[in-house]
């Protein structure tokens, strides 16, 4: 940076010594410099700029043309897709109708099966209750019979003689034997 500043200072001092000088009026020199630069740019850059703009214009035109062609193709594909969508929607509606009726049939079948299963469970429960009731009744009857026999034996043992005792036992054994035959 110092070298650049020194160069400008040298030019300022050199201009006072000879015919070439440096104008330090910034406003005037900037306008002159800018007009010279713009003149050179316009003169030499006109062809390059027009070529660049022409190329750019052609690329934009080609891009627009390609976009329009793609748009036409996309519209054709869109129409095909809409037609296909219409067919698919019709098939989906038919499938929904068929499936809903199939689901209703299956639902009714499951409901009927559930009722039958519940009825079987109910019957099984009732049979189990009856069997358990019969078991309980048989156990109570056996227990009552045992208690009655024990009480009767106790009374007989205290009141009866051996001979009478022997005849009573034989008669009771016969009665019990008959009861067992009736049960089975």
Average per-residue pLDDT for the chain: 82
Task: Identify the pLDDT of residue 5.
Answer: 52
Is pLDDT above 80 for 15?
no
Is 109 inside any structural domain?
Answer: yes
Task: Give domain status of residue 13, yes or no.
Answer: no
pLDDT at 61: 93
Residue 164 belongs to a domain = yes
- Does a structural domain hold residue 20? no
pLDDT in tens, 19-71: 666 767 777 778 888 888 888 888 887 888 788 888 999 999 999 999 899 99
Residue the block writes with tokens 């793609």:
70
Q: Nearest CA to 149 among 130, 131, 128, 175?
A: 175
The pLDDT tens digits of the residues spanning 95-117 come to 888 888 888 888 898 899 999 99
Check residue 21 and report its DSSP letter. Answer: -
DSSP 184: -
- At 9, the pLDDT band (50, 70, 90 cuts) reads very low
The mean per-residue pLDDT over the stretch 124-140 comes to 91
On whether residue 17 sits in a domain, the answer given is: no
What residue numbers bound the domain in which 93 lies?
Answer: 26-183
Per-residue pLDDT tens over the stretch 69-96: 999 999 999 999 999 999 999 998 888 8
What was the pLDDT predicted at 181? 83
Residue 16 in domain: no
147 belongs to a structural domain: yes
Query: Cβ distance 86 to 80 under 8 Å?
Result: no
SS3 of 22, please? coil
Structural domains counted in the chain: 1
Residue 183 has pLDDT above 70, yes or no: yes
Q: How many helices (H) and strands (E) does the chain have?
A: 3, 0
Q: Given pLDDT bands bounded at 50, 70 and 90, which one contains residue 17? A: very low
pTM above 0.85, yes or no: no
The label of the residue with tokens 């080609």 reads 62
Q: Does some domain include residue 141?
A: yes
């Amino acid at each position: 940076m110092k070298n650049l500043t020194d160069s400008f200072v040298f030019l300022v001092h050199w201009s006072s010594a000879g015919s070439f000088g440096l104008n330090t009026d910034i406003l005037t020199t900037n306008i002159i410099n800018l007009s010279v630069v713009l003149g050179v740019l316009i003169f030499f850059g006109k062809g390059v700029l027009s070529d660049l703009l022409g190329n750019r214009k052609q690329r934009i035109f080609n891009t627009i043309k390609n976009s329009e062609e793609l748009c036409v193709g996309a519209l054709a594909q869109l129409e095909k897709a809409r037609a296909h969508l219409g067919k698919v929607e019709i098939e989906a509606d038919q499938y929904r109708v068929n499936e809903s009726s199939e689901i209703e049939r299956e639902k009714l079948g499951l409901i009927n099966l559930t009722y039958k299963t519940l009825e079987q469970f109910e019957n099984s429960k009732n049979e189990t209750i009856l069997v358990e009731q019969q078991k309980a009744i048989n156990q109570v009857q056996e227990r009552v019979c045992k208690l009655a026999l024990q009480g009767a034996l106790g009374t007989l043992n205290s009141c009866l003689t051996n001979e009478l005792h022997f005849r009573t036992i034989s008669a009771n054994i016969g009665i019990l034997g008959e009861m067992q035959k009736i049960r089975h």
